[in-house]
Amino acid sequence: MHPLLARLLSPARVPLTGRVAATLALALTSSVLTASATTAVAPADAGTSGHPRPNAWFTSWANSQQNLASAPLRDQSVRMISHLSQGGDALRIRIQNTFGETPLTIDAATVAHSTGKDATTEGSPRPVTFDGRREVVVPAGGEVWSDPTRLRTTAEDDVAVSLSVSGTVTPGQHGSAFRTNYLTPPGAGDHTADTSGAAYTRTTGSTYLVSAVDVRNPRLRGSLVAFGSSVVDGAGSTNCGQDCTRPGANLRWADNLARRITAELPPTRQFAVANAGIGGTTSAATCPYIGEPYKGLDALARLDRDVLSLHGVTGVLYYYGTNDLGAGCDAEMVLASYREVFRRLHAAGIKVYVTPITPRPGYTDQHNRARHAVNTFVSKWNDCGGTCDGVLPFDQALKDPVKPNSIHPPYDTGDGVHANIAGQQALADIISLPMLAASARR
């Protein structure tokens, strides 16, 4: 079966809100095969010259899609800013229509260097193709990867990904970009080749359509994926104190970890870091009080899409559980989800590094007993009793030394749950880089 049709028809890949009837899938077959016959899965590590480059592609940035935007796009362009953890000599992008109920038509796409501060680009945008064509149709519930585009980048570069959307369609989004992204007005048409940002007069705090960027860099030894809820997504990472915010500064703990890797590990042990956090989500699907917007976004439900479909992944940094307890899961329900996710990751040859559940002053005594049970499991033998590969002691980094069920006040955003900018740095600083380096491809 063609891989794109497999994505369309597989229930495991299509969320409840965007399931496509078999009749629609069959109706779309001919157009999908014609428009994007080889784009549903990224090309098999090949250079733009067509010569194979084994193990060359690594996901350097990600924003997991979680739902549909509140308003449709109508014949307009979007310009999304991606902050790369590592660079390379070429890149490729993933466009998703996972939650869409109608096909998505992209009639032009470009990539360019960006300052990250506005919608202008540094240098002329370079065209992006899909199986050699500028236009691609992404079926409802589907995704495409682009062809490689030659654009030399380095660690910490910002890249503007511009897409021209034809017709009217409600885009899939990642709700919290923690930065500003840009749109033209409806009806403005194709402005993907613009160096100026003048046409991009509208802004959004979400990331539309683009969910991952790969770089081609055979010197990298792997991609590490931070996987979890709001504490991974970046809640608190713009908080620099009372009445102080720094949006777009890329100060999540995963961003800080990427900078540590670049600065502290030798050239032979460099890794990309991709963020697969979605705020409000749980590890387990069985918690009785999961909010409606988060159903179907548990760790196992999105593991294929948000981790295993990325490229060059050698390790996962697993930061889940705090929402599970608040949503009514007990320790055994949380641990059952852990074991299954860890089993799936190990079966794919990916190492798993787990953080104990961090302090939360709103927890009841019952919550804290469950937290203790989960954390005892994670810490057992320093490898989750043999089911994971290492522990990220975030609970120790964040806890108040006087009130250990609370966050240390200098690290608290004020909600008792999320770490501010100083706390995000403390989390990145406590991670053992030699431990993560053990996940390297040999």
DSSP-derived secondary structure for 202-241:
EEESSEESEEEEEEE-TT---EEEEEESHHHHTTTTTEEE
Q: How far from 35 is each of 39, 107, 191, CA to CA, in Å? A: 9, 11, 22
CATH 3.40.50.1110 residue ranges for the chain: 219-437
Contact (CB, 8 A) for 410 and 398: no
Tens of pLDDT along the chain (442 residues)?
434 433 333 333 333 333 333 333 333 333 333 333 333 444 444 333 333 345 699 999 999 999 999 999 999 999 999 999 999 999 999 999 999 999 999 999 999 999 999 999 999 999 999 999 999 999 999 999 999 999 999 999 999 999 999 999 999 999 999 999 999 999 999 999 999 999 999 999 999 999 999 999 999 999 999 999 999 999 999 999 988 999 999 999 999 999 999 999 999 999 999 999 999 999 999 999 999 999 999 999 999 999 999 999 999 999 999 999 999 999 999 999 999 999 999 999 999 999 999 999 999 999 999 999 999 999 999 999 999 999 999 999 999 999 999 999 999 999 999 999 999 999 999 999 999 999 998 6
Count Cα atoms within 13 angstroms, Cβ side, for 238: 16
If residue 164 lies in a helix (H) or strand (E), which one and from where to where?
A: strand 158-169
d(Cα 265, Cα 262) in Å, to the nearest integer? 6
Residues contacting 252, CB < 8 A, separation 6+: 178, 232, 233, 234, 237, 275, 424
Q: Measured on CA atoms in the order 3, 9, 13, 17, is the torsion positive or negative?
A: positive
Q: Measured on CA atoms in the order 49, 50, 51, 52, is the torsion positive or negative?
A: positive
pLDDT tens-place string over residues 41-95: 444 443 333 333 456 999 999 999 999 999 999 999 999 999 999 999 999 999 9
Contact (CB, 8 A) for 159 and 118: no
> In sequence order, which ranges of 380-420 are alpha helices (DSSP H)?
394-398
Q: pTM (2 decimals)?
A: 0.88
Contact (CB, 8 A) for 333 and 296: no
Q: Which fold has domain 219-437?
A: Rossmann fold (3.40.50)
| pLDDT score, position 370 | 98
